[in-house]
Amino acid sequence: MGIQGLLPFLKEIQRDVHVSSFRGRRVAVDAYCWLHRGAYSCALQLVMKTEKLESLPFIKYCMKRLTCC
């Protein structure tokens, strides 16, 4: 999904930086990949609704990624 060819188009101007360099700033994060990966890890619990949503591993996984720094 997304804009086809966008990443190769931007390759010339992108650079790797540590996420902590954005401390105190607002950033937009496309967390779809994190949500998908996390939801995959507990798909049965999601479908069967056997646990509260906020206690599912995929929520914890995404929150850990967002609060890592």
Write the burial class of residue 58 (CB in 10 Å: 0-12 exposed, 13-18 middle, 19+ buried).
buried
* pLDDT of the residue at 69: 59
Out of 19-23, 24-28, 63-67, which region has the weakest mean confidence (pLDDT)? 63-67
Who has greater pLDDT, 17 or 67? 17
The token pair that represents 53 in the structure block:
């949503």
CB 29 within 8 A of CB 49: no
C-alpha gyration radius of the chain = 16
Residue 1 — pLDDT band, cuts 50, 70, 90? Answer: low
Q: What is the pLDDT of residues 23-63, one digit of tens each?
A: 899 888 777 887 787 777 778 887 888 877 777 777 777 78
Q: What are the residues whose beta carbons fall under 8 Å from the beta carbon of 29, sequence distance 6 or more?
A: 66
* pLDDT of the residue at 15: 92
Question: Residue 62: in which H helix or E strand, if any?
Answer: helix 57-66
